[in-house]
Amino acid sequence: MAAFIAVIVITLFIAFFLSKFLFKDQTKNLPGGSLGFPLIGETFSFLQAQKQDQGPEWLEERTSKHGPMFKTSLMGSPTVVVVGQAGNKFVLGAEDDVLAAKQPVTLVAISGKQNIFELTGSRYRLVKGAMVSFLKPESLQNYIKRMDGLIKTMLLKETENKDTIKVVVTMKKFTFTIASSILFGIDDERTREVLFDDFSLAFKAVWSLPVNFPGTVYWKGLRARSRIANQILPILEQRREAFSKGKLSPTSDVFSSLLALRDENEEPVSDDLIVDNYVTLMVASHDTSAILLSLMIWKLSKDSEIYNKVLEEQMDIIGKREEGAENRLTWAEIQKMKYTWRVAQELMRIIPPVFGSFRKALKDIEYGGYDIPKGWQVFWVAHGTHMNKEIFDKPTEFDPSRFENPSKPIPPYAYIPFGGGLHTCIGNEFARVEVLTIIHNLVTMYEWSSVYPDEAITRQPMPYPSMGLPIKIKPRKP
């Protein structure tokens, strides 16, 4: 065993020496920073900082030394990190043939090589069009009553004979069920449960070291991804058959829409492409919404003033319904939830669900006086602008009113919880409707209090209350 360890140590030392001296990048003007250890880079320190919700401190330690642009190595690839509004605009506003939305190897392995973030040109526009058709406001209006009824049923089931629930896992179940049922037409409860368990494993592997060794997070995630595909392929066959018999149309669900696609040669897209984009859309549509919901419930538990304003707004919506009207939310009522959504916006400013995201340089480029070599990752972060006092007055204070009538307009690429530019999140409106519908039902149907009032936030890699946010809950008296 000792000899084996010695071989590993010597191998790593040699690799480190070669990377530093023999294979040093020929580009002369890289930004300051450190690429860390071979393969590992600075991934461990970055993930550890995220776990402790110290990501901003990790950034500030490096920007204080090197300025708003520095080099590092994350998730197995050399990376340039850019911080600030100008950097956000440079990355998010770049054309696909300069900085492509190519993700780290871990995310590509889980989502698939043909997921929408990896596609470019006509294939990207084709798949995006199919997805957007189900996520645009005109389509969402048709989902409101169904979503509202589904949430009411889930709340009643989840709280039956219980006085305590764990919010994080409950919100993940809710958003997963909503996306599965409304977007993909997967209504079989057992199928959803199996898929939910595997998605939980797969998502943990997205931000991990790409070490495919038995027992690692990455290894477990890859196996879960394989099981997801095996569950979905028979469903695709059933939908394809129903589609050919005229029992389904391209507007029935996202699967049907993707099955109806034809490329520039009038050929159908592959099952692999459909599965890859199913995985991607499920991760994007349920996990980020679950984060925001968990953070909102966490905040409402801690701040009675904000809670009471949200409750007043939601109760007022019910109170203004005409006598005998159906007890279901409408699109018009969703639009009245202005204060509740401002609370969500402020939470996403202070605790952005997505800390940052990667792009990949497809050619040698220059920014800020430095070179970015072809093949390197470029990482943008929300913190650099969300907490900038030049952009947001008193940025550390929680103030939803800053999104009501701001004294000065928020400049482009400064508030970016949903990204920006060409690859702005296509599901941002779906997320807004989903979050508001769940919060409406929760505050009007129940009262609750936090079991651990001082519960801290951690990132895994998304921000969550560290203990899963258990709450004591009881039906609200009429």
Extract the annotated binding site: 425
Query: Which H helix or E strand runs over 15?
Result: helix 2-17
CA distances from 290 to 134, 171, 225, 435, 468 (A): 20, 5, 20, 8, 12
Buried b (16+ CB within 10 A) or exposed e, 405-426: eeeeeeeebbbbbbbbbebebb
Instruction: Say how far apart CA 297 and CA 450 lie, in whole Å.
Output: 9
User: 377-381 and 365-367 as β-strands: parallel, antiparallel, unpaired?
Assistant: unpaired
Residue-wise DSSP of 40-107:
TBTHHHHHHHHHTT-HHHHHHHHHHHH-SEEEEEETTEEEEEE-SHHHHHHHHTS-TTTEE-PPPHHH
User: What single-letter amino acid sits at 390?
Assistant: E
Residues 6+ apart with CB under 8 A from 449: 301, 471, 472
Which of 338, 445, 473 has its CA nearest to residue 400?
A: 338
Q: Residue holding tokens 């090589």?
A: 113
User: Taking a C-beta distance cutoff of 8 angstroms, is the pair 133, 139 a contact?
Assistant: yes
What is the C-alpha separation between 240 and 217, in angstroms, rounded? Answer: 34
Task: Say whether 111 sits in a helix, a strand or coil.
Answer: helix
The DSSP H or E segment spanning 14 is: helix 2-17
Structure token pair of residue 284: 């994007």
Question: Do 448 and 302 touch, CB atoms closer than 8 A?
Answer: no
Question: Contacts by 350-353 with C-beta closer than 8 Å and gap 24+?
Answer: 350/386, 350/387, 350/395, 350/396, 350/398, 351/295, 351/457, 351/463, 352/382, 352/383, 352/386, 352/416, 352/417, 352/463, 353/288, 353/291, 353/292, 353/295, 353/417, 353/462, 353/463
Dist CA 190 CA 76 (whole Å): 37
Strand partners, 475: 446
- Name the binding residues for heme: 425
Which residues contact residue 8 at a Cβ distance below 8 angstroms, ignoring those fewer than 6 apart?
A: none
Indicate the residue type of 32: G
- Nearest by Cα to 106 from 9, 176, 202, 229: 202
Looking at 179-264, list the stretches that DSSP marks H as alpha helix, in order from N- to C-terminal side: 184, 189-206, 217-244, 254-259
DSSP summary character for residue 287: I
